[in-house]
Structure formats: C-alpha cells, structure tokens
A and B are shown apart, each in its own frame.
Chain A
C-alpha cells in the first residue's frame, strides 16, 4: 500500500542554519506529494506541493523536489528562522478508489535564536 516515511525528530537548529528533512514514499501509480506545516496552536497548512516527477515545490524559502528515481521529496531551507519552529508533515495523495492523503509521522523542528 501507499506510505510515507520521514525522519524522526525533534530537529534542533540554530537560526540561519541549513535545514533538511528527509521524506521517502511508497506508492502505486503517480502520486502528488506535499509538505504540510503545523505551527504551535494552529492547524495544518499546506506549505508546498509537487504533482509530477522533477517538479520543484517552493514557498517561504522552503523547497522540495519530486524525485521519482529515489522516491523522495526532501524538504530544504537555506537559512531557518525562529518562526519556522513547527511540526512538518510529508504527505502523498494518489487515487486508490478515493483521494485520501497519506501522511508521514511528522518532524518537529526547533530553531534557537
């Protein structure tokens, strides 16, 4: 079945450090891939998405590239800020009789000033 695996947290970084959160997936067919973010006390927000191989999603300085050959969708940011502290979820959506989203377990990021 379809599944998403992302690196366990928490990840603790200093401000302006480089961020990578690894995400790999297993899916039949051609899934769309997503990163969602949940800031403290808030709901899930779509951060970025990619719908086909080699697409790069980007938003707020975050980027992720859909790599079909390695079944990966790693999240990167060149210089994190304290305000980026949140839980990040990698997810996929593929048609399996419906369009439910399959999520990874989430990675908590702490950014220190």
Chain B
C-alpha cells in the first residue's frame, strides 16, 4: 500500500513569490491534515480536511495560506506571497475514520521550503 506522498520534496523561492505544495493521502483516507515545523521548533497543526470540507483550519497562520482539497482526494497548500518566516518543513498526514473513530495519522515525508 502506498503511503502519503508529497511534492515537491524541496522548494527554494524568493520572498514575494508563490509556492504550491501537494499532498496525496493514502487511498481511502477521508481525513487529511497539514502541519509545519518552522526553524526546528515543534510541529504545529495547520488544518484538517474531511473529504473536501475544511473541518478545522484554526492553525492557518494568515490569509497568505490557502489550502484546497477539490474532489476529496489530493490537497494543495498555496503560499502567496511567501515571506521569510514561512521557511520550514510542511508535513501532510492522512487517516481513516472507522465506526466514528479517527484512526492513526500517517505522515508524508514533508516538503522543505526555504524562502530567501
């Protein structure tokens, strides 16, 4: 079974540019999450999709970040315009809901974003 995949693995952009990160969850997983780890600090929650709906977006830092999950499959996270403090590792995770219970989250390898 394929795991969670993320693209690109690395991205280096200049301040003010736009970057779009993609996450493909494990097939059949309704729940998709975005997290990020900035400057070696703790990994922080950004948002949670259930299928194509945003269940919780309380962790989105500001309106420069836009997440979508059209069709309830893969998701994109766009940063526009990027700022220096957006540098970090962006992780995606997915999980299955069974009998009303949300199961273990499986994480992707992350996208390392560097804003210069």
Contact = CB atoms under 8 A, between A and B. Distances in A.
Specify the main secondary structure of chain B where it touches its partner.
strand
Interface in A69-104: 89, 91, 93, 97-104
By size class, the interface of chain B is 20 to 34
A44 B107 contact: yes
Nearest to A91: B43
A105 B48 contact: no
A89 B35 CA distance: 14
A45 B107 contact: yes
A88 to B, nearest CB: 12
Nearest to B57: A98
Nearest to A3: B42
A45 B56 CA distance: 23
A3 to B, nearest CB: 9
A102 B45 contact: yes
B107 A43 contact: yes
Contacts of B59: 100
Interface in B24-40: 31, 33, 35, 37, 40
Contact of B33 (A4, A43, A100): A100
A36 B107 contact: yes
Interface string B89-116: 0010101000000101111111000000
20 contacts: A4-B42, A42-B109, A43-B4, A43-B6, A43-B107, A44-B93, A45-B107, A46-B107, A91-B43, A98-B48, A98-B55, A99-B31, A99-B102, A100-B33, A101-B45, A103-B42, A103-B44, A104-B42, A105-B41, A106-B43
Interface of B: 4, 6, 31, 33, 35, 37, 40-45, 48, 55-56, 59, 91, 93, 95, 102, 104-110
